Every structure is written in structure tokens, then in C-alpha cells.
Structure 1
Amino acid sequence: MKDIIEKSIQSSLSYSEYRNLISSLLAEGKSTGHVQNEDLRHYSELNVARMNRIEKTVELLPEVVLTLEQLPKKYIWLVLSEGWCGDAANIVPVLHKMAEATAQIELRIVLRDEHDDLMQYFLTNGGKAIPKLLVLDTETLDVVADWGPRPQEAKQLILDYKAAHGVVDEPAKIALQKWYVQNKGVAIQKEVVNLLTSKLV
């Protein structure tokens, strides 16, 4: 897996490069990923607006900033994502803000469909659910922790909806988006920091 991680990092994007790629593809009427259709392009457009809003409105918790600043060594946060993914649109900007808060973290992003060999190591219940955060030791590139594809409360919301309705349909996606807006990135921050403190200290 080390070879796969090394290759993934070499072809990875910064957050600004990721945002620019999504926008430039949309200008061509496309989305990221191997599949192209009107739905995915539409979701990508929605997600650009979501990411813009999160960048302007989400604030990091003081205790989260303190923990990030006091990390004992440097880490690469390698995130599997796609521009059309609603969860990614709500989560990746928060991870970006967290990485920006400390010199100990470098955030890099790779597209899932272009890195299937890496994705196969981090499936969720056999599926390629994203986003997926891999916490890498900068020196060894060992995966010391992973997180995703969504916070526990959001995960439970979808599980409960599916149990009640048998499907994850548009109302479920709307309910999930409302949860993200109301939570303001707090669950993401807390879960990722808890992961870091439990695995890295």
C-alpha cells in the first residue's frame, strides 16, 4: 500500500487546486469523476455554493485549534473526494480550515475515481463512500488513522431514514443537508480531533 500512497500524494491536489478543478470542469459542463451526467453536474454546482458558504461561516472551536497546534509531529491529511459528493462538500472545507490552523498538518486531496487502488483499502461496508480522511505520518507515510465518510450523528440520521423508508431518496438528502447546516462543522471537528488524540498521542 505504501507505493499506492506515494503515487497518490504525487498526483494529489491542494484545497485551492481542488476547488479550481471543480469550477473549471463545471465551466465545461462537466463534473469530476468517470461518470458524467446532468445530475452530477447539478450536484457539483450546489456543492460549490455549499463550500463557499462553509468557508465564510464555519468557525473552529478554540479547543480544536489548541489540540491541532499541539500535535507532536507533522501529518499529511490525504482525503479521497469528488466534486459531486454532498458529504464531501460539507466536510472537506472544514478539514481545510483545521489544516490551515496548524503548521503540523498538510491537506492533500485525491479524486476517488482516479485512485481506485487506494479507495479499495478504505471501503465502508464494502462501498466506496467518500469523503475518506487518511491521516499519514509525514516521515513514514504510514496510515495512523482514518475517518469518514460522515460524522456519526449524520450517519445515524441516514440509517434511521433508510430503516423507516427503505431508501435514501431526495428528502433524505435534504434532511442530511439541513443537519450539516445546523451543526456548523462542530461534529466534524470534534470527531477528527478525538481520533487524533486517541491514535496519535
Structure 2
Amino acid sequence: MTENEYIAYFKTIVDTPDTDQKAPYDNPEYLNYTKLNNSRMNRWLKTAELLPELKATVQKITQPQHWILITEPWCGDAAHNVPFIILAARENPLIQLSFEMRDAAPHRIEQYLTNGGKSIPKLIIKDAAGTDLAVWGPRPAACQAVYSELKAANASFDETVTAIQNWYNADKGLATQTELLATLKQTL
């Protein structure tokens, strides 16, 4: 799906009455978290500014690239990372950005597991021939370190979500952009 289709899909989930939701959004916790994610993603899309070096690097891409972004609206990491990928892709008409849902066909995530798991978001950058140029995700390394520490300490889901959210709020998208910049430099 395209960026606009993904945003519309997200909006449909958020705007559908609770009683008409399909799995997993029929679970009130998933739905409420998805509504928060929608708010966070839209805030980033409206207020975020790309780092000048990231913007310049994206503009240096001279050959067509297909960016495949595997995600889901319920994903908290996606709410903070996907907007920066969208904003970067908008900087160069040679970039075709498409979205695939992790939990729907074609299940491409199976080819891009993180430590054996289907962690998202996952960005796959391909050239015009369909060859992988780079892969990024599911979250910045520093955020992953926080997550790994919490998991090792058997932290509760709520504690983990709060800690990760606090990390993203403090970072303000800097780590995501810095890592995206490094990833894109591999493709030039």
C-alpha cells in the first residue's frame, strides 16, 4: 500500500466504532494503544524536521529505490520511526515507498526476522532490480538496549511500554534519523 493508503487504513481503524473492530483491534487495549500511536505518528509528521545531512543524503540518491516498510498500526515503535522514514522518502521522487502489514500476506517479515522474531517496523531498501541494498529496524540501537535490559529483567509490559515511550520522547527522533542516514549511505 502507498503512504496515503496506510494513513487511511490507520484512520479507518481509529474511526471505527469499538463494537465493529476486527482482530486485534477488537481488544480494547490494542485499540487504545493504536489510537495513541495514530496521535504520535501524526504529531511527528506535522512537527518533525529532518536532519540536514539526512535530507542531503536522500537527495543524493540518483537511481530508483523501492523502500518497503513492514509495520502495523498497533506497533508503538512504528509510531515513532515510520514518520521519519516517510519524511525522508518524500525528499526524493526516485524513492517509491510502500507499506506492508506484518500480519498480512505476503508475510515478507519472515525473510527479515530480528533475533528470530517478527519485530517491526522493518525498512527494506531495494534497487530497481529488486536486490536488497540495506535493511533497518525495528528500533534504534540505543532504544533496543533499553528494551533488551527490560526484557532481561522480566519487566512488565506496562513498565516496558512506558520506558520505551520515555526514551523516544527524550530522543526526539535523533537516533532514528542518524541510523537511517548511516543505512542510506550504504546504498549510494
Common topology (TM > 0.5)? yes
Distance 1:16 1:31, change over 3 A: farther
Match of 1:43 in 2: 33
Among all aligned residue pairs of Structure 1 and Structure 2, give the percentage whose two residues are the same amino acid.
33
**Whole-angstrom CA distance in 1 between matches of 2:156 and 2:97:** 31
Match of 2:2 in 1: 14
Instruction: Give the drift of 1:33.
Output: 6.2
CA contact (8 A) 1:80 1:131 kept: yes
Match of 1:127 in 2: 117
**Whole-angstrom CA distance in 1 between matches of 2:116 and 2:23:** 19
2:103 to 113, 126, 141: 113
Instruction: Give the drift of 1:104.
Output: 2.7
1:54 to 40, 44, 64: 44
Normalising to structure 2: TM-score of the pair?
0.91
Match of 2:13 in 1: 25
**Whole-angstrom CA distance in 2 between matches of 1:103 and 1:170:** 40
Q: How many residues align?
A: 186
Find out whether 1:155 has 2:144 as its counterpart: yes
CA contact (8 A) 1:33 1:111 kept: no
**Whole-angstrom CA distance in 1 between matches of 2:22 and 2:71:** 10
Q: Which runs of 5+ in 2 are unaligned?
A: none
Match of 1:83 in 2: 73
**Whole-angstrom CA distance in 2 between matches of 1:185 and 1:15:** 19
**Whole-angstrom CA distance in 1 between matches of 2:93 and 2:22:** 29
CA contact (8 A) 1:32 1:84 kept: no
SS in 2 for 1:114: coil
SS in 1 for 2:138: coil
The residue type equivalent to 1:194 in the other structure is A
2:132 to 125, 143, 153: 143
Deviations along 1:33-64, one digit per CA (max 9) or x if unpaired, are: 66741111111100111012111221101111
Larger relative helix fraction: 1
Match of 1:95 in 2: 85
